[in-house]
Structure 1
Amino acid sequence: MSSAGRTKGGHGRLGSTLSGLVVAVGCVLFLGGFAWAAVEYQPYTVPTGSMTPTIVAGDKVLAQRISGDDVRRGDVVVFKDSEWGDLPLVKRVVAVGGDAVRCCDKQGRLSVNGVPLDEPYTDKALGGGRAAGANFSADVPVGELFMLGDERANSLDSRVHLQDKEQGSVPRSDVKGRVDAIAWPPAHLIGRPKTFAALPGGISSGGPLRLMAVAVVAGAVLIFLGAALGPLLNRRGRARPAPTPAGERAGVR
């Protein structure tokens, strides 16, 4: 076999090997990201507007499967409680077991353990920007959560259940997941409010959804690049001129 043939064959094998390797890595990242998300997250469709403006009726959300013991103040959670109805509900946790919730102070603010809260996530539809239409108070039992909707004018939440359930709270064990993102429309992450950062326990960190998205996008890019890499290297190998034999370079016939 001539040196030109060996060169072309070598470039062909190199191109195929590199292309296959890049595509394989891309497939692992792409499929792995989706598989990780399927294990970690559960999709839900929100049926009501009680979480407006954060989440509106009909939004498709992704909730990370977590234990209720991991929930902190400010989290938006999916839960199901028999005394609240038969369907999963989405509300924001504003207080946890042992907290004293009071509303409202002279500025119309909600307070937890005597700390007035700035709540930028609410819809501000109530007159004077009040946190609730009527005053209320509750002492949350240990192991339970006090839930409010961000749409305070009409949300059926722990305030309503103060009348028929002790303190209106729900057990942590009722939590099915913590909402990390709206999948549609349009897709975006739901941040953790700094409102509760100064209270004991602070706020929860974000879930792994961003990392999963990076893995999927990086995988797709690598699959595309790998598919193009093999033909590109083969083309460069064919275009390279064959080396001149040593005898010809020396002028020998």
Structure 2
Amino acid sequence: MSEAEATASSRHTRRGGVIGFLRDLLVIILIAVLLSFLLRTFFVRSFFIPSESMQHTLEIDDRILVNQLVPELVPVHRGDIVVFKDPGGWLLPRGTEPPRGFAKFLQSIGLAADTSNEYVVKRVIGVGGDRVACCDAQGRMTVNGVPLTEPYIVKPEGEERASAIDFDVTVPEGSLWVMGDNRYQSKDSRYNQDQPGRGFVPEDEVVGRAFVLNWPLDRFTWLGSPKGTFTGVDAAKEN
């Protein structure tokens, strides 16, 4: 092989290597996008926290991952943090622009947190058939007559009651009673009893259960119901 032929062969090999690398990279990106889309559609979805209603469990601008198998395949439990569509009248309009262009595309395939103004994040306190009330003589929430110890709630300094207002409701089957952890800064079931759903959230409106706080990284944590908070509630419901 002449020197010219060797040089041409070397250039062809390098060109083929670059093209092969770019082709493989494109395939990897397409597979990643497809997997992300499938995860978002069927299993996991990302949301951001726009308000202080779930402090200090969730802070403003936190990002969470939501298991969309709840409640379709996995039941909702008391203490779960759930994301659900606004049943109507719960949310005030926000002055933020809806995502556009590339940001909208990233949200649609699950590579960015959903920032639309139609979802609510709250903690489940009562499920279908539960009697939820507040407050007892010690200012605690009760479910089926059992007082709750709620280490996650935030109250103003000097305030002992778990709710600023009294209420006593029975949750319809197939619905939920939800409240924010920041009890005095949360427009939750208590304050939506004048809406068509009377403050109850249909399980059909639940997008899923938040299972991890994934951003910012220094606040990364698994989310769930504190052990012991709802002990005895099921047994009391059966009696």
Q: What TM-score does the superposition give when structure 1 sets the normalisation length? A: 0.62
Query: Does 2:203 correspond to 1:200?
Result: no
* Residues 168-203 of structure 1 deviation map (CA, whole Å, 9 limit, x = unaligned): 1110011001001111113211132121143229xx
1:106 paired residue number: 137
Q: Aligned in 2, Cα 1:191/1:67: closer, same or farther, shift over 3 Å?
A: closer
Is 2:59 aligned against 1:56? Answer: yes
- Asked if 2 retains the 8 angstrom alpha-carbon contact of 1:108 and 1:128, the reply is no
Indicate yes or no: 2:213 matched with 1:179: no
Per the TM alignment, residue 126 of structure 1 is displaced from its structure 2 partner at its CA by: 6.0
Structure 1 distance, partners of 2:158, 2:191, is: 19
Are the aligned partners of 1:73 and 1:94 in contact in 2 as well (CA < 8 Å)? yes
Give 1:71's match in structure 2, choosing from 56, 68, 76. 76
Residue 133 of structure 1, CA deviation: 0.8
Greater mean deviation of Cα atoms: 158-167 or 67-76: 158-167
Report if aligned partners of 2:87, 2:205 keep a CA contact under 8 Å in 1.
no
Q: Once the 2 structures are TM-superposed, how far is the Cα of residue 125 of structure 1 from its aligned partner?
A: 2.2
- Counterpart AA for 1:193: P
Aligned-pair identity in percent equals 41
**Over aligned residue pairs, what C-alpha RMSD do you find?**
2.3
In 1, are the aligned partners of 2:146 and 2:232 still within 8 Å (CA)?
no
2:56 maps to amino acid: P
Matched, 1:132 2:132: no
Query: Which has more radius of gyration?
Result: 1
Contact residue 66 and residue 209 of structure 2 kept, 8 A: yes
Aligned partner of residue 69 in structure 2, secondary structure? coil
Q: Return the alpha-carbon distance in structure 1 between the equivalents of residues 197 and 118 of structure 2.
A: 21
Change (3 A) 1:190 1:67: closer
Q: Deviation above 4 Å: which 4+ runs of structure 1?
A: 34-39
Deviation readout 1:59-94 (Å, 9 max, x if unpaired)? 011111123361110000000034134511100000
Amino acid at match of 2:195: D
Is the Cα–Cα contact under 8 Å of residues 107 and 130 in structure 1 kept in the other structure? yes
Q: 1:168 to 1:63 in 2, by over 3 A?
A: same
Higher relative contact order (CA 8 A, sep 6+): 1
Of stretches 177-186 and 164-173 in structure 1, the one that deviates more from structure 2 is: 164-173
Structure 1: gaps (5+ residues) = 1-30, 202-253
Answer yes or no: is 1:148 the counterpart of 2:179: yes
- Where structure 2 has 5 or more consecutive residues not aligned to the other structure, the ranges are 1-31, 92-116
Aligned equivalents of 2:83 and 2:157: distance in 1?
25
The amino acid across from 1:58 in the alignment is: D
- How many pairs were matched up? 170
Kindly indicate whether the alpha-carbon contact (under 8 Å) linking 1:145 and 1:171 is maintained by their aligned counterparts in 2.
yes
